Structure 1
């Protein structure tokens, strides 16, 4: 993901609302949002090049994790996969299921939200490795260091705050994420651009709605997946 907003314990009916856009090279292969068939209990899209994911939910526990890259840092192919970090944290198993600040430099530049139970954490390794608990409320990240101003993140955070204040479930924000009059959020390009807009909404009763809208070059629609299930089922 390259811009994402999170409302955690801020909405009386939907204690988790997570929405964002994934920007990526169009040539990089990816599988649509689905329940993985590997016994991991992960529901997510999948990067078919590296095998990880950028955003997902663990259907047994309700854990949610989303990662963004950080612009301006040259990727090092020798470093660990950021998508694999998301997978380990979602499963609660693996080398990086519970990363420490000392683990974070192993990865190329990233920002990450992790939600489990009543707790939300921010993890980042730019400008310095940091793991920080977040208060209940609305938070946003984009592909900028967390100490830098970011209009994309601010724009989406304000939109999600308005949705929470109005009692909405976040689905209309999918239209905001691809609005033609707001190029700050949706990137149209031949080589690189927004590949998917995703909403995760978890109700107080544990009912989940996940919607992924996918896009091809120049922002052409390429399909939608909508899933509903209950945490623990």
Structure 2
């Protein structure tokens, strides 16, 4: 997944709101989101190749999502990054999920990543490039792409032009998705879904053998949780509300 937008504690009725596009090679198999019979139960899509996931939430209201991180010298990797998200979703709180990721990168090696874990009490952003950077994020709208988040970017030399364009797209999208006066969480999430499908913002990707494979909208509050999923690029695929929410 290459673009992650989330509003944390911006809307009283919806502490966690997420809009995300997953970019991937077209022939990598995956399964649409479903409830996983685990403890705790989670709702997430599944990477059929490695068994992990790139986004989801659990019965405690913990959300986790990941993007790849572009690096000139990626660390050696022997474990799928999607398994980190799967592990994080086994946690009762976002703080616990962050501690799990810290332990995981000490025990195993992974390709570069940007990972967000959030619940109603905390939102934590973790960057891995061979060393781990962890920071709590403030109540606001945040945008994460392959080169970083929220104006803090590191552009790799091997993809300098694409990296600069990603950073510009992310800044433009973050500005456009600042809440409007009186806007509700539902209205903001609808608008976020429209923007990440709009090619003007450069985050719905179409390429030869690679592109935006799916898109997710998550709305999490204490009393209600919803997951809307587009099983294809959102510019041409309708979001559908998933049954069996947890």
TM-score by length of 1: 0.83
Partner of residue 193, structure 1: 211
Post-superposition shift, 1:47?
0.6
Q: Which moves more between the two structures, 187-196 or 61-70? A: 187-196
Partner of residue 68, structure 1: 67
3-state SS, counterpart of residue 71 of structure 1: coil
Partner of residue 137, structure 2: 134
Looking at structure 2, the residues matched to 220 and 29 of structure 1 have their Cα atoms a distance apart, in angstroms, of 20
Looking at structure 2, the residues matched to 189 and 113 of structure 1 have their Cα atoms a distance apart, in angstroms, of 27
Partner of residue 48, structure 1: 48
Partner of residue 159, structure 2: none
Cα deviation per residue 1:95-114 (whole Å; 9 max; x = unaligned)? 99712278268211000110
Partner of residue 124, structure 1: 127
Partner of residue 111, structure 1: 114
Post-superposition shift, 1:17?
0.5
Looking at structure 1, the residues matched to 90 and 133 of structure 2 have their Cα atoms a distance apart, in angstroms, of 22
Post-superposition shift, 1:152?
2.8
Looking at structure 2, the residues matched to 200 and 79 of structure 1 have their Cα atoms a distance apart, in angstroms, of 30
Cα deviation per residue 1:140-186 (whole Å; 9 max; x = unaligned)? 11011453161232233223323686224102322221124x26111
Structure-to-structure mapping, 1:143-182, within 5 angstroms: 143-146=146-149, 147-148=152-153, 150-162=167-179, 166-169=183-186, 170-180=189-199, 182=200
Q: Is the 8 A contact 1:8 1:16 kept in 2?
A: yes
Question: Size of the alignment, in residue pairs?
Answer: 226
* Structure 1 residue ranges, 4+ long, deviating more than 6 angstroms after superposition: 74-77
Post-superposition shift, 1:9?
0.8
Q: Which runs of 5+ in 1 are unaligned?
A: none
3-state SS, counterpart of residue 33 of structure 1: strand
Structure-to-structure mapping, 1:207-218, within 5 angstroms: 207-215=224-232
Cα deviation per residue 1:107-154 (whole Å; 9 max; x = unaligned)? 110001101340110111138421111122221110114531612322
TM-score by length of 2: 0.79
Structure-to-structure mapping, 1:26-37, within 5 angstroms: 26-37=26-37
Call closer, same or farther: CA 1:127–1:75 in 2, change over 3 Å: closer
Call closer, same or farther: CA 1:131–1:168 in 2, change over 3 Å: closer
Post-superposition shift, 1:39?
5.0
3-state SS, counterpart of residue 125 of structure 2: strand
Query: Alignment RMSD, CA only?
Result: 3.1
Q: Is the 8 A contact 1:65 1:113 kept in 2?
A: yes
Looking at structure 2, the residues matched to 112 and 52 of structure 1 have their Cα atoms a distance apart, in angstroms, of 14
3-state SS, counterpart of residue 103 of structure 1: helix
Looking at structure 1, the residues matched to 178 and 201 of structure 2 have their Cα atoms a distance apart, in angstroms, of 20
Partner of residue 86, structure 1: 85
Call closer, same or farther: CA 1:76–1:31 in 2, change over 3 Å: farther
Q: Which has the higher helix share?
A: 2
Post-superposition shift, 1:46?
0.8
